[in-house]
Chains A and B, each alone.
Chain A
Amino acid sequence: METVLIFVETKGGEVKKASLELLSEGRKLAQTGRFKVEAAVLGPLPAALADKLLPYTETLVHIDDPLLEAYTPEAYAAALAGYAQEAKPKMILAGATQTGRDFLPRVAVLLGCGIVSDVTAVAWEDDPITCVRPIYGGKVLTEVSPLAYPVVVTTRPNTFAIAEPGSAPGSVVESRAGLNVGKMHTKVLRVEQKQKGKVDLTEADIIVSGGRGLKAAENFALVEELAAALGGTVGAARSVVDAGWRPQEDQVGKSGKTVSPKLYIAIGISGAIHHIMGMDTSKLVLAINRDPNAIIFQYANYGIVGDLFEVVPAMTAELKKRTGA
C-alpha cells in the first residue's frame, strides 16, 4: 500500500489548523484502503500533544533530534526528507503556512521531486492527483499535476473541513533524525512575541480589515472590537500600513498577505486591485463603505452602504447580544 506522509505543525503545544485539516483529509484517504497515512511531528512531542493527534492518525511518527527544538528550515527539511527517504511516501503533505511554505521546497530538492505550493483543492482520486492553485493573486486558477511521484503538496489553510477526532487512537513510532550539527548553519537567537495567541492572517477563519475610511489610527479600535466579537483577526489595507496606523504583518494584498478566510469583512476599504489580489479567495465577503460605487462591492457577497462609524459599533453590539457576551 502506498504511504501518505503528513507534516504536523504545532505552536505552543497546539496543532495548527492547516495540519488538522490535512489529518482529517488523511483519515478519509486511509478509509479508501488505498493509502497508509502517517503523520510526522518534528522536535519535542509532549504527551498532551500526542494525545491530541493520535485520534487522527494510525501512525504518529515522532522525528526527534536536538537540532529540531527550534524551527530552522535547514534542519526541518533534512529531518523530514531523511525520514521520507526511508518511508518512501507517495505524497508528502503540509499546510501552506509560513513555516510549511518555507521549508517544504527544500524537502522537494532533497528528494529530487516536484512541489505544488499553496493549493486550494485536491482531487486525490485522479491519477496523477490534480491540485488547484490560484495564480496572479487569484485572478486565475491552475490545475497542476505531478509528472512523477513522490510529490510534495502544501495546502492553504481553510481548504479542507476538520473532522471530529476518531475513536481508535493510533500509536507513536519513534525516529531519530540523526542530523549533523556541523551541517546546520542557522541559529534562532530569539522569538519576540508581542501579542499572545494571535492567529496569523493566512490561517484565520475570520478577518476584519480596515482601510482609509477609518480616518485615523485610533479608530481601528472599532475594527478590533468587531474582530474580537467574532473571534477574528484584524487585517489592514496597504494605505493604512504605509501610513503607519497598522504594522506590516497586518497587511492584506499583493505586497502583503494572501488570505482565504471563511468570512472577510472589509471596512472603509475602497477595493484597489492590490487589495483584491490578497483577499479574493475568501469564501464570504461583507463590505461596509459609505461610497455606493466603491469597487470593493464588486468583490463582495454582501454590502452595506453607510457610515462605518455607525454601522460597525452597531454590528459589534448586535453580535455580542447574539453570543450573550
Chain B
Amino acid sequence: MDVVVLAKQVPDAEAAIEIRGEGAKLEIEPKFATSIFDEFALEEALRIRERHGGHVRVITLGAGKATEVLRTGIAMGADEALLLDNAAFLDGDGYSTALALSRAVAKAPWDIILCGKQAIDDDRGEVGPMVAQFLGFPHVGGIVKLDIGDGKAVAESLTEGGREVVEVLLPAVFTVQKGLNEPRVAPITGVMKAMKAQIPKMTPEDLGLSAQEVGLAGSKVRVKRYLPPKKRPPVKMIGGEAAEAAAEAARILAEVERVI
C-alpha cells in the first residue's frame, strides 16, 4: 500500500495571536505543533504499512517551520517527505492549496491519502475532500476506524448518535478525527534520522502549475480583514446558597436572556 499523508504545522493552541495593521495581518507567537488531527493520520499510515507493507510519504505545503511536520513524520517512521516550498505556494485558500497538494500526490503512485479532518489554524476542513475531487477519487470524512482490504476499504465515521460504515474502492482519501488511534511517540532513533534527513522540495513548475495557479494568486476567495472576536461582557456571578443560585440562574435564562 502506498500511503500519502497530507500534514500541516500550525501555531500551538496556546500561542498568543495579535491582530496588527488595522486588521491587515496576524502576529503569531512562534510556538508550533503538528495539527492534532494530522497526527492521527500519520499514525494510521504507519499502522497500514505495518499490516499491509508498502510505503508512507508525507507532504506539506509551507515555509519556515512547515518542514517540522515532515521531520515529525520521518521521526515517527515515514519513508519519505516532500515540501512544497516556494513563496508562491503561501497564503492560499482551500482551492489553491488542494490543487497544489493533489498535483504533488499524483507525482508518484498512491493507494490511500490520509489527512486530518481540518487544520486547527484555519479550521477550513476543505483540503481533504477537494484533493479527492481534484484527483477524481472518493473520500470518506471524519473517520474513526479504517480496515484496508483487497482493492477496497471499510471506514467508520461518527454521525449524530451513531456510526456510519461505508465501503469504498481504493484509491481513496480519508480525513481522520480523534478516536481513530493513539499516535505513537517517535523513537529516539527516528528523531536522529529525521534531524539529518534531506527534505526534497518542489516548486509550482515541478507540479506543472504556474505561479498564478497556486497560493494567494490562485485563490478563489480572499481574507480581507482580521477582526477580534466580539468580547463577552465581564462575567456576572450569581451568588447565594445552591438552591437560591439555581433558581436565579433559571430565572435569568428564561426571563432576562430568553434562551430557554
For B220, the chain A residues whose CB sits under 8 A away are 108, 113-115, 146-148, 151
Residues facing A in B136-168 (CB within 8 A) are: 137-142, 144, 154, 158-168
Total interface residues on B, CB under 8 Å, equals 80
For B121, the chain A residues whose CB sits under 8 A away are 135-136
Chain A: minimal CB distance from B108 (Å): 21
B37 touches A255 (CB 8 A): yes
Among B95, B141, B168, B237, point to the contact of A185 (Cβ < 8 A).
Answer: B168
With A281-B229, A284-B257, A311-B242 already in contact, the answer to whether A302 and B162 are too (CB < 8 A) is: no
Chain A: minimal CB distance from B2 (Å): 18
- Judge whether B209 is part of the interface by a CB distance below 8 angstroms: no
A249 touches B158 (CB 8 A): yes
5 contacts between A and B (CB under 8 A): A109-B98, A185-B169, A192-B164, A193-B161, A198-B161
- Judge whether A306 is part of the interface by a CB distance below 8 angstroms: yes
- Judge whether B260 is part of the interface by a CB distance below 8 angstroms: yes
CA distance A142 to B229 in the complex (A): 9
B95 touches A109 (CB 8 A): yes
For A51, the chain B residues whose CB sits under 8 A away are none
Among A151, A197, A200, point to the contact of B221 (Cβ < 8 A).
Answer: A151
* Chain A contact surface mostly: mixed
* Size class of the A contact interface (CB-based, 8 Å): 35 or more
Those 6 A-B pairs whose CB atoms lie nearest each other, nearest first = A114-B220, A198-B161, A314-B246, A310-B242, A195-B161, A114-B221
CA distance A170 to B120 in the complex (A): 41
Chain B: minimal CB distance from A151 (Å): 7
B235 touches A297 (CB 8 A): yes
B222 touches A145 (CB 8 A): yes
- Judge whether B11 is part of the interface by a CB distance below 8 angstroms: yes
- Judge whether A215 is part of the interface by a CB distance below 8 angstroms: no
CA distance A126 to B159 in the complex (A): 36
A298 touches B158 (CB 8 A): no
A254 touches B36 (CB 8 A): yes
With A195-B161, A301-B232 already in contact, the answer to whether A143 and B225 are too (CB < 8 A) is: yes
For A195, the chain B residues whose CB sits under 8 A away are 161-162
For B250, the chain A residues whose CB sits under 8 A away are 315, 318-319, 322
For B90, the chain A residues whose CB sits under 8 A away are none
- Judge whether B245 is part of the interface by a CB distance below 8 angstroms: yes
